[in-house]
Amino acid sequence: MGSAPLLCEGRVVIVTGAGRGLGRAHALAYAAEGARVVVNDLGVGLDGSPGPGSPARQVVEEIRAAGGEAVAHGGDIATAEGAASLVRTALETYSRLDTLVNNAGFLRDRMLVNLDEDDWDAVMRVHLKGHFLPLKHAVAHWRTEAKAGRTPRARIVNTSSGAGLLGSVGQGNYSAAKAGIIGLTLVAAAETARYGVQVNAIAPAARTRMTEDTFAATMAAPGSPNAFDAMAPENVSPLVVWLGSDACAGVTGRVFEAEGGRITVMEGWRPGPSADKGARWTPAEAGDTAVRLLAGAEVPGVVYGAQ
């Protein structure tokens, strides 16, 4: 019997923040499924290009050593020029672009009363703006293709977090940015469908540089038949690869939680209990009605760290 066809054969995939952690795992997984990968990471040399010791270059070397194709990009994707050059790198190197995985990010955790404006701006810039700008430039290319009669089968996978879904104590900036990414995902899915673009988001839980103190290794003893490191970032990548492939046709505007061996479709805000007086409430009436409605509403999930 012949081997199964590769899921992303012939596709060109950009992964931002792909030098380490989840991004590295995604880049390697895409390459293993036949994709040609643009590996973005800001670990750059003095001239702004990824040098031999940069994390992006190291991942490219890993992919090439395994027989795959990849190119490094060291630009700052939270700038217009960096995001534009990222898309140009894919087009100039491989003459096409099929999938964008927005993954880059970092943490500056503080309780809100101790959170500096610079810490707020920096996290918003890298996570939220760093999703918007590559998305904008990739979609601009795909729109041009669609208008020329070459409608793509394009995919965007954004990276949110459980912190963006429920909130996380000490991570007000990060939680707000990750919640914003979900909103961006929903709008982008609605606006870009006409151009052949599908946009989804993941909320992963895995051990990376950002979370290594939170998620210790949970793997069984080496050689054990049940050996499985539930917090390994590689566990998240199969879903990301599928979402970036042709195989997920028709799936868009969705958020998936991925952790270990578990995948969950997340269900967002939707109307719950409601009351309509047909006229203006008094404050007392509004309060009484709100209390009554809350009694019949689902209890929200607990904010991470609140217990």
Residues taking part in catalysis = 161, 174, 178
Residue 99, helix vs strand vs coil: strand
User: What are residue 263's DSSP bridge partners?
Assistant: 258
Looking at residue 89, its amino acid is T
Looking at residue 277, its amino acid is K
Looking at residue 71, its amino acid is V
| CA end-to-end distance (rounded Å), the chain | 54
E strand segments, the chain: 12-15, 36-40, 69-73, 99-101, 154-159, 197-205, 255-259, 262-266
Asked if residues 155 and 128 have their Cβ atoms less than 8 Å apart, the reply is: no
Residue with tokens 């070397």: 61
Residue 263: phi, psi to the nearest 5?
A: -125, 130
How far apart, in Å, are the Cα atoms of 3 and each of 7, 63, 69? 12, 20, 20
Nearest to 110 by CA among 176, 38, 209, 191: 176
Q: What distance in Å separates the CA atoms of residue 166 and residue 226, rounded to the nearest whole number? A: 31
- Look at the chain and count its residues: 307
